[in-house]
Structure 1
Amino acid sequence: MEQANAHFLEKEWLDADYFYSVLRAEYPDSEFLMPAHLFALQAKLRAYQGPAYEGGMLDEAEILADQILVQFPNQLGSDEEERVVRTRAEIAAQQALRHWKRAEFYAKGKHYTSARIYYALIAEDYPKTMLAQRARKQLEGIAGLDDINDNPFPTLTAFLNPDSLKEAELDAMAEADAVIASQDSTGESQPLR
């Protein structure tokens, strides 16, 4: 615990999280178990670098916050419980923001199908966040819009590479023939050899 706390005080969040995780995993009967959970939650949140970066720490923090509320319901003081619940709401807001940034990226590029997926994720998974209402409005705004075609010259592409579609069709037919050939007359698949 001392080593984890030393890293925490030095703002070395990943190292602190690692040592808190070791304590939580290998010493489940420790008197420091609950503080290790609480400090690990803070270390994970502080290690998260924002919506433009990888969100694994945010996902881990969400799981840890839920685990704290379930594992220590009688040991958490009212202030600590309130802090964990508030942290859980902050995590949800950060996850919604991650989806929002992705949705905006796709909408800006006129890839509306992908944008709709992320807006819908916000509206469904994080309905209590402030972005949920904005996501619903954006969904209404891009409803029915078609994606931009990534092939700006389809005629030229078909002329210069006429076999690309034929090759894809042939590959699909070959796979289908292999599946059909592997079935006996009853329609059941034969064991692979």
Structure 2
Amino acid sequence: MVSTGKSDRIARRSRTIAWGGWLLAAALSTVGCASFSREDPVAKFDNIQRELTETRKYPVQQASLEQKTSPLPDLPDLSPKSVTQKVKEVAGYGTKPDEAKQLYAEAEQAYREAVELDEDERAGRLLKVADQFRSAAALWPSSALEEDALFMAGESYFFADSYPKANEEYERLLKKFPNSRYLDRAEAKRFSIAQFWLARNEQNPDQFYEFNLFDGTRPRRDTGGHALRVFDRIRFDDPTGKLADDATLALANAAFRKGDYVKADEFYTDLRRTFPSSEHAFDAHFIGLKAKLLAYRGPDYAGTLLDEAEVLVTQIRKQFPDRADQESEYLNRAYAEVRFRKAERLWSRVSYHRMRQEYGAARYYARQLLDEFSDTPFKAKADEMMASSQNKPATPPQRLSWLVNMFPESDPVKPLLKSDSATTKRR
């Protein structure tokens, strides 16, 4: 007799088998018997041909790259330059080539007439002509006419002895047209303006509280500072130009005369390195040597300037033998001064260590002084120091040793993990 639990398990298993058979029959009816039979090759070829024929009835359309697309709507140009131009056009100051040409021709004729006038009338007339050239330049911006007009405006101000305005117009020209055909002429005028300002300031220096209200040839204030700025701008605006080395020398000489020997040394060094074939090469070496010796601050400061000065003495004698013969007295004196200053630096170290009773270090620097600078007055001092400290210890004795011994000596720090010797070798 079969138990009830066993009969239930048999019934569930029968239902599972029935469901599986039903699903298998459904799958076979869907796939068909062709899946289990070998397909006829001729029939397969006919089916492929029929599919290709049906596909040709509906060909794929190729995209055309020449097909025009709908244009995007025009957006307004809101760049600062465009906005400024629009504002000028609304105000009546837009681009007007015809008016610009006419105004430039009138200004050019007025300029020819003005330069023929007497000195008293010429300046006022040229100031008006300069304004005409500026107006012509504004009517046709970014054109060849603007370039000509800006240069002529600067020329008008220059010959009217209004040097600040002339320099301003030349700078506007070179800022807008860096490779202008007037570059050399404009730089020459700026150089002469800077020379005039610098000479005027050296004769009668401006006070920090002074304001120039009546002299049109000078800036409102700080005439010397404006001159140096123009020289510096000439170096950067046209670094390979004819006046770049002259401007560098002018800056160096101005700093030297002012007593700023560090700044002068920088400019002379720049002149030697940037313009090695300049006509001012000897001055850059010779006056640069003086600047280095005057810029040296003493044994408590770096001795780089002394090393560089010694190199300059050697270079002057090799590169400029004729001029070196003429200046041989100064060069010999400069070389002796360099050696004296270097020996002084070593003696300063000897004195420092002897004061601290560190006789080992003192004797080391004294021997170096005797080996390298035995021709200086410090040789006798070094000999005396070596003799007096011969039997003295290299390092001073420990002071208050009883107090130092009261404190325990700290052991060296031990690592937390001991490293394997094999691992250490592999690293």
- TM-score range normalised by the length of the shorter chain: 0.7 to 0.9
C-alpha displacement of 1:68: 2.2
- Show the counterpart of 2:270: 22
Question: 1 or 2 for the larger relative contact order (CA 8 Å, sep ≥6)?
Answer: 1
Q: 1:125 to 1:182 in 2, by over 3 A?
A: farther
Q: Indicate yes or no: 2:314 matched with 1:66.
A: yes
From 329, 337, 354, give the equivalent of 1:107. 354
For 1:140, which of 369, 372, 387 is the aligned residue? 387
The answer to whether structure 1 residue 82 and structure 2 residue 329 are counterparts is: yes
The answer to whether the aligner puts 1:126 opposite 2:373 as a matched pair is yes
C-alpha separation in 2, matches of 1:114 and 1:124: 16
Deviations 1:16-47 (A, max 9, x none): 10000000000011011111011111001001
Q: CA deviation at 1:70?
A: 3.0
Could you tell me how far apart the structure 2 residues matched to 1:167 and 1:105 are? 33
2:258 is aligned to 10
When residues 65 and 179 of structure 1 are mapped into structure 2, their CA distance, relative to the original with a 3 A threshold, is farther
Kindly name which structure, 1 or 2, has the bigger radius of gyration based on alpha carbons: 2
Secondary structure at the residue paired with 1:76?
helix
What do the CA deviations read for 1:113-135 (whole angstroms, capped 9, x no partner)? 11112211211111111111321
| Superposition CA RMSD, Å | 2.6
Q: Is the 8 A contact 2:353 2:361 kept in 1?
A: yes
Counterpart of 1:129 in 2: which secondary structure? coil
Q: Is the 8 A contact 2:317 2:324 kept in 1?
A: no
Percent same amino acid among aligned pairs?
A: 29
The equivalent residue for 1:187 is none
**Secondary structure at the residue paired with 1:5?**
helix
TM-score in terms of structure 1 length: 0.79
Q: How many residues align?
A: 176
Letter in 1 for 2:392: L
Stretches of structure 2 lacking an aligned partner (at least 5 in a row): 1-248
Give the aligned partner of residue 296 of structure 2: 48
Give the C-alpha shift of residue 84 in structure 1. 1.3
* 5+ residue gaps, structure 1: 184-189
Over 3 Å counting, the alpha-carbon distance change for 1:119 and 1:26 in structure 2 is same
With structure 2 as the length reference, what TM-score do the two structures score? 0.38
